[in-house]
Amino acid sequence: MDNILNIVWFRQDLRIEDNPALFKAAENAIILPIYILDDENANDWCMGEASRWWLQKSLQSLNKSLNGNLHLFNGKADEIIPDLIEKTDATGIYWNRCYEPWRISRDKKIKAELLTNNIKVRSFNGSLLFEPPNIKKADDTPYKVFTPFYKKGCVENGPPPRELVTNLPKLIFKKNISSKNLSDLSLLSDIPWYRHMEEIWSPGEKGANERLNQFLEHGIQNYKIGRNRPDKEFVSRLGAHFHFGELSPHQAWFRVKNLTQSSDTKDSIEHFLSELGWREFSNNLLYYWQELPENNLQKKFDRFPWINDSTNLKKWQHGLTGYPIVDAGMRQLWKTGYMHNRVRMVTGSFLVKNLMLDWRHGERWFWDTLLDADLANNSASWQWIAGCGADAAPFFRIFNPIVQGEKFDPNGDYVREYIPELSQIPTKFIHKPWEAPEDILLKAGIILDKDYPLPIVDLKLSRERALSAFKSLSENN
């Protein structure tokens, strides 16, 4: 063992349990655990502010689990790793695969160079249940529609999810290696805007497992129907934990599959597993269509007449559209780094269809403000809501924010939590305060267009405008 040193390169797998690369690297070898903040190779897709706060906390947690033996670096990984191997005489490097195009390109470059120098390079599946190269249709082409992808490609015909990796070998660490301090990575801004997030989130492997346990005890039983209610706690809120790899999808998959299923919970369990499938589908799309974050998958949308309106964009970003369910969602995002999935669809539809602003504006805003900002999920979801992606919602499916609010936040609790100035508005008017009589508004202490904005667009007229624009795509063929 004295002559074998393996580097373990942590990336989107910031955990100890069920970590194939860590387990294999530690078998009969000394290990050097590293993390590299590689903003240079990431370029336009380096992490946003919210994600960087989470990463700071997650690295602290991982370092504690490794007894202070995590070594940090920042810069280009393809330069840092060969240099580190030369300085330490490491004989191998182990990592779990990532699927963003820029990471794939970089990792191939690193692997090719190291192999020419007789360095062992081993990569593993630590992040997906069904890796893209293994999931194709009978004609060897990738899936573009979710249901056959998940049911036929994955569950019925794909290789089953790998078993959990257990029985971690004893970890023996390489000492006396020069590296960065966490503060050197400059992950946090000088303004502590993240204080509220520190009160409600617990980044790290321990927090991920606690969150999963809480969901399995109190949320999954009502998941299928309850997941649409932003005013209730029936969703998992595991997105950031999955993205940073503090919890593997395999851990969640098998925990849920092993639950005792009653007639009341069976549908909710299956629905949650299929939601894990959507995460797989998004990664599959990004793997085969690397332009997903920037270009319309349906090319006819290249001719769509988007409106350039920076004023309305800012109002949408800061929850000042005059539509309470939209504004509550945007303010929840700004305050907590999270937005309920149902509300993500509503706010996204409002941006691209009622305001007719390019979906890429929403994608970039979410990238910077979401704790669970994930390149595959974020870009696939925005293309889905815009109608230009794979298996996308039809463009004519335009969410009415009033109807959505009344249906999924029937008592107005969600709106009242994030728009406190409307807290005294009666439930009848909570999703359409402009319809409230003047005396009710005065009693609630609200002067519209002063304390809370009037709607910035008319729903009916903006819907007709969007449908007309969409129709023009066909007429121009």
Please identify every residue annotated as catalytic: 275, 278, 306, 341, 359, 382
- Amino acid identity at 66: L
Residue 215 burial (CB count, 10 A): 21
Per DSSP, what are the bridge partners of residue 30? 5
Residue 413 burial (CB count, 10 A): 14
User: By the 8 A CB rule, do 246 and 58 touch?
Assistant: yes
CA distance 215 to 329: 22
> CB under 8 Å, gap of 24 or more: what pairs does 425-434 form?
430/324, 430/405, 431/323, 431/324, 431/325, 431/401, 431/402, 431/405, 431/406, 432/324, 432/402, 433/324, 434/322
Residue 40 burial (CB count, 10 A): 14
Beta strands in 60-163 (DSSP E): 71-74, 92-96, 120-124
CA distance 332 to 334: 6
Per DSSP, what are the bridge partners of residue 123? 95
Nearest Cα residue to 352 out of 390, 399, 319: 399
DSSP alpha helix (H) spans, 307-370: 310-317, 324-336, 341-349, 359-369
Q: What value, to the nearest 5°, has the Cα angle with vertex 195 and ends 241 and 342?
A: 50
User: By the 8 A CB rule, do 327 and 320 touch?
Assistant: yes
CA distance 416 to 467: 32
Residue 28 CA to its chain's centroid (Å): 36
User: By the 8 A CB rule, do 26 and 168 touch?
Assistant: yes
